[in-house]
Amino acid sequence: MSRSKSWVAFDSGLTPVSRKHLEDTIVNHAAKLGVKLDWLVSHQLTSGARRVAFTFAASDEKKLNKLLADLNGHFPSFAGDAELSDLVEISNSKTSGRAVVMPLNVDISATVQAEALIKNSAIDSIVAVGEQLPPNAEIQINNFVRPIFQGGKLELYVERVAGGFFAPVERESPHECCGGHDDEAPISL
């Protein structure tokens, strides 16, 4: 990750809104303000009440701080400044977190060669669960990729699916549940 970007951290508090809807809210509000997010990373906080926090980075520090102020005005923050500063350092050092937005220069709407995905994105490695990833592996991304930071690397975990392809272990809609979640719109700030 480039340290030349400005990073900020945001604690979403005890909101009943899902992580997916928080992610969409941040991305949509950033676009509304004209902020091009270079990175958006989610962090599961476990100290105190269990909740999700985010770190994000962009080149335009003024717009980035406006985005942060808008989010902080809508969601009560539970983290202290030290905890949020720690999250920024964690993101910079690639030791923890889940990338939502990252440098990505490949069409993720379809099937992508694993080698091309690594070469044209911030993803450092692709790990196949339960087997070695074949050198010619094709990954079915379907517009949803959420690699995680681990050991100083950004890793995408995949599993084998029908047709010999691989797909990310984390899927946008892994299964049908009680309903209504996919119909929720992001929060408008």
Report pLDDT digits (tens) over 3-56.
446 888 888 877 777 888 889 989 999 999 999 999 999 998 877 666 788 999
Whether 177 has a pLDDT exceeding 60, the answer reads: no
Say if residue 85 is in the same domain as residue 161. no
Structural domain includes residue 189: no
Report yes or no: 172 and 142 within 8 Å, Cβ to Cβ: yes
Say if residue 21 is in the same domain as residue 73. yes
Say if residue 83 is in the same domain as residue 124. no
Structural domain includes residue 150: yes
Say if residue 88 is in the same domain as residue 30. yes
Say if residue 26 is in the same domain as residue 72. yes
Q: How far apart are CA 102 and CA 38, in angstroms?
A: 6
Say if residue 67 is in the same domain as residue 129. no
Q: Can you give the residue range of the structural domain that contains 77?
A: 6-101
Q: How far apart are CA 15 and CA 52, in angstroms?
A: 9
Task: Find the mean pLDDT for residues 144-173.
Answer: 92
